[in-house]
Amino acid sequence: MTDATTRDKPMPATLESLADIRSWVFDLDDTLYPKHTGVFDQVGARIQLYLERHFSISPEEAVAVRRDYYRRHGTTLRGLIVEQGISPDAFLDFVHDIDHSPLAPDPALVAAIERLPGRRFVLTNGSRSHAERIMARIGLGDQFEDIFDIIRADFLPKPHPDTYRRFLGENAIDPTSAVMFEDLPRNLEVPKALGMATVLVVPRGESTVPAESWETTASTAHIDHLTDDLGAFLGRLNPRA
C-alpha cells in the first residue's frame, strides 16, 4: 500500500488541470461508495441468480453467459434485451433488491461534493431508484442536478458513445469543462475522447489500474487521475473551502 500522495498521483495531468471544471460527473456503484462495502457484489450475485433461473443453467454456465454479454453488449441487461427480449424493468427490480445496510453516511464525501464549483451529475448503468437508495444511505441527494440512469439511456449502457452524447446533450454540458469519475477504466475512454477530464476510482489500498478479467482496456492513456479515496481526492481540490 502506498501513501495518499502516491495513490492520487496524476497520470499524467496535474490537479491544477481540474481548476476550470464546472460539470462534475460521477458513476454510482463502486465510485460514490467504496468497493469494499460489497454492495455491488450483491448486485452481481443477483444478476448471476437471474441468469441461472432464466436459462435453467449452472452457476458456472451463468458466469460464462454474463462474461459474454458484458464483452459484446456492455452489460448483462443489454445482452438479455437484445438476445432474449426480456422486460428490463423486471430485471432491474430483481437485481437491485439488495441489502443496503453496509453503506454508512459519508460526511467527508458529502462536504467535498457540496464545495465543488458548478454542477454535479450521476451517470449510471443502474436505475434511478437504485441510485437514490444508495445516495440516501451516503447522505447525498440534493447536491446533484440530475441522475441519468440506464432507462434514460434507452438501456444502451456506458461505454457506448451515444449514451455519453445523450447525457451531455440533455444536460447542456460542455465536455471540455467537465470531468468523469469512474471505477471501470473502459468507461473513461469515450469521455476522454470527447474532451472530458477523467478520474479512475480504485479500491482502497490500490495504487494501480485494476486488471479486470472482463475488461479489454490495456492502455491508461485515457486516465488523467487515479485515487482510492474519492472524498479525500475531492477535498484536496478545495483545501481551504
For 185, what's the count of Cα atoms within 13 Å in the CB-facing half-sphere? 20
Reported pTM: 0.90
> What is the spatial distance between Cα 220 and Cα 218, in angstroms, rounded to a whole number?
7
pLDDT of res. 29: 97
pLDDT of res. 208: 77
Structure-block grid coordinates of residue 188? 473513461
Burial of 132 (0-12, 13-18, 19+ CB in 10 A): middle
> What is the spatial distance between Cα 155 and Cα 124, in angstroms, rounded to a whole number?
11
pLDDT of res. 26: 98
pLDDT along the chain (241 residues), means of 10: 42 72 97 96 97 97 95 94 96 97 97 96 97 97 96 96 98 98 95 97 83 58 94 83 48
DSSP state of 224: -
